[in-house]
Amino acid sequence: MKKIIILAILCVMNAISLKALNTARVTLIFDNSMSGINERVDIVYDDFNLYKQFTVDTFRLNGNQAEQIIDFKANEMGFYNLLIDGEGYLGGFFVGKNDCVAVKVSYKEDDDSYIDSTIFNTNITDDYFRSKFVLRFNYDRNYTDTITFIENYLAKCDSLYDYNVALAENELFNKIKLTDEEKRFILGYLSYSKADLYARFLFYNFYNTLLGSDLEPSALVEKYVNKLFEDKELNNFDFYDRFSKNPRVSNYVTMVRNIIEVKLRKKIYSVDKSDPFSFHKVKIDYYKKTFNKNFTSCLIFEYIYSSIDGANSLEELSNIETLIKNNKESLIYEEYYNRLMEKVNIGKELRSSKEFGNYILLDSLGIEHTISEYNGHYVYLCLWATWCSACHQYFPYLEDLYQKYKNTDLKIVNLAIDKMPIEKIIRHLDKYNLSFDQLVYKGNFYSPLCKDLSINSLPHYLILDKEGKIINPVAPFPVQEKSLKREFEKLGIKID
């Protein structure tokens, strides 16, 4: 306790000395588990409007010390993360200019992860986000009638929101001097926390269950969805407004899009298949009809952004490029338009028979290989990582694929994108008894392979031709057996 008090006093003194520099200071406190760790660490700030992380500073960890102090530019108050080599989570905190934070960090060797805990922060707002604002609650899913179920949940959301806002306005804002923009950021976080809870509740209880059926949501449920969609203040943030720059906005927008996907699914299935734009037009027209211009631009950006990832051919990408240009005015913000065009151009390059590249790949013994060793065979390449739990669930399906196609021109190859020691990666794989080739690329999303191939999520699947060129940069997942079979048959790869 004495050490924490001394540290707190030092943090306050440091905050005073930092004022002239407009920087923030993080003090990392290590236990013995961190000994010998000297990885590169990026301090990143998330832009939730553009789905981009901005690295504000970089330093090298020195786990041999008891503590390490880092000063960095905190351009605006918000959530900052410490990422090992730009990927693995080391810790996170909420700070602004002139703040000091002390974070205790330890290492878990069994799963190659880190545990962080903030023990002091001069930014009082951090304490409210961590422990005082109530942002989650449990609810009883057993109900006798729909209206009581929804009304009870909505009343709980409203009650929590009123409590949080009163806490912010009557207590937090009196304790610390904040700009109007910073206050708006905090109130925006609380508003979208409530909206995200509510939209999530409606989607998972009343819409997600309708997928794959001909059923429609009841008029009663639709009434509550329409009420949410008609909230003018909630759905009218400006791209440059601090109100919108928090993670809850992104979560809420995703839930709204999910609800709309289900609402429109019958209309989407009945569109003119010969018109490549009719499918997109149904959704975009609904956005424009339902929401104001600012929120519509955000929905269109997110929708087209995800559509680029799902495009399987140059023709589809060309259609999406035309879609972007046709909706340039509706996107409003130049950043949205430029980001989408940049992503389309990367997608075109990948779909133009781009060579996979001669990256150094290691086998279980640490021997170096390149993908060119598979020339003469088609390759179904499966990118995964030890930290990716979703990746592991597809391993049995990959083994089934291997057994079916092992006597054909197709090679099934597992490629771990991972910096964990090879012996640990192999231990991860041992329990699956996989018969096909296992390789390792010592890197992450910031490494050349992922940057060159525009891979920003795992698992990811590609199909390579016999010369090592990419012929499908977003191949179907192994569980999508019929789709994969069609892909392979197009290449002349057939099984009995």
Question: What domains are defined for the chain?
Answer: 2-125 (2.60.40), 146-350 (no CATH), 361-490 (3.40.30.10)
How confident is the model at residue 111, as a pLDDT?
A: 64
Between CA 123 and CA 101 the distance in angstroms is: 8
**DSSP state, residue 373:** G
How confident is the model at residue 371, as a pLDDT?
A: 95
How confident is the model at residue 419, as a pLDDT?
A: 80
How confident is the model at residue 20, as a pLDDT?
A: 47
Q: Which residue in the block uniquely carries the two structure tokens 């060309």?
A: 318
Between CA 126 and CA 117 the distance in angstroms is: 12
Between CA 432 and CA 435 the distance in angstroms is: 9
For residues 160 and 349, the model is more confident at: 160
Predicted confidence (pLDDT) at residue 13 exceeds the cutoff of 50: no
Name every residue whose Cβ is closer than 8 Å to that of residue 251 and which is 6 or more positions away in sequence: 192, 196, 200
- DSSP bridge partners of 327: none
How confident is the model at residue 384, as a pLDDT?
A: 94
Predicted confidence (pLDDT) at residue 5 exceeds the cutoff of 80: no
Predicted confidence (pLDDT) at residue 398 exceeds the cutoff of 90: yes
Predicted confidence (pLDDT) at residue 3 exceeds the cutoff of 60: no
Between CA 449 and CA 443 the distance in angstroms is: 8
Per-residue pLDDT band for 11 (boundaries 50, 70, 90) equals low
Q: 158: helix, coil or strand?
A: helix
Per-residue pLDDT band for 240 (boundaries 50, 70, 90) equals confident
- pTM, rounded to two decimals: 0.78
**DSSP state, residue 469:** B
Segment 50-109, tens digit of pLDDT: 777 788 999 999 999 999 999 998 878 888 989 887 667 788 888 988 899 999 999 887
How confident is the model at residue 60, as a pLDDT?
A: 93
For residues 360 and 86, the model is more confident at: 360
The strands making up 67-73's β-sheet, listed across from edge to edge, are 67-73, 23-30, 100-108, 113-121
Q: What is the mean pLDDT of residues 372-376?
A: 95
Predicted confidence (pLDDT) at residue 251 exceeds the cutoff of 90: no
How confident is the model at residue 350, as a pLDDT?
A: 80
Per-residue pLDDT band for 159 (boundaries 50, 70, 90) equals very high
Segment 100-151, tens digit of pLDDT: 999 999 988 766 678 889 999 999 999 999 889 999 888 877 777 888 899 9
Predicted confidence (pLDDT) at residue 464 exceeds the cutoff of 60: yes
Predicted confidence (pLDDT) at residue 15 exceeds the cutoff of 80: no
Between CA 18 and CA 15 the distance in angstroms is: 5
Average the pLDDT over each of 9-13, 84-88, 108-112, 472-476 and give the range with the smallest value: 9-13
Measured between alpha carbons, how far is residue 408 from residues 368, 401, 461 in Å? 25, 11, 19
Consecutive H or E run containing 438: strand 437-441
- DSSP bridge partners of 113: 108
How confident is the model at residue 344, as a pLDDT?
A: 92
Q: How do strand 52-60 and strand 410-417 relate by DSSP bridges?
A: unpaired
Q: Which residue in the block uniquely carries the two structure tokens 């977003």?
A: 474
How confident is the model at residue 86, as a pLDDT?
A: 62
Predicted confidence (pLDDT) at residue 435 exceeds the cutoff of 90: yes
CA 267 from chain center: how many Å?
A: 29
How does the average pLDDT of the chain come out, rounded? 87
Segment 288-297, tens digit of pLDDT: 999 999 899 9
Contact 120, 102 (CB under 8 A): yes
The percent of residues above 70 in pLDDT, for the chain, comes to: 94
Q: What is the mean pLDDT of residues 331-351?
A: 90
Contact 379, 371 (CB under 8 A): yes
Among the listed residues 63, 54, 84, the one whose alpha carbon sits nearest the alpha carbon of residue 447: 84
For residues 13 and 361, the model is more confident at: 361
Helices (H), 327-477: 328-331, 334-350, 389-392, 395-405, 422-430, 448-452
Q: What is the mean pLDDT of residues 369-376?
A: 95
For residues 17 and 100, the model is more confident at: 100
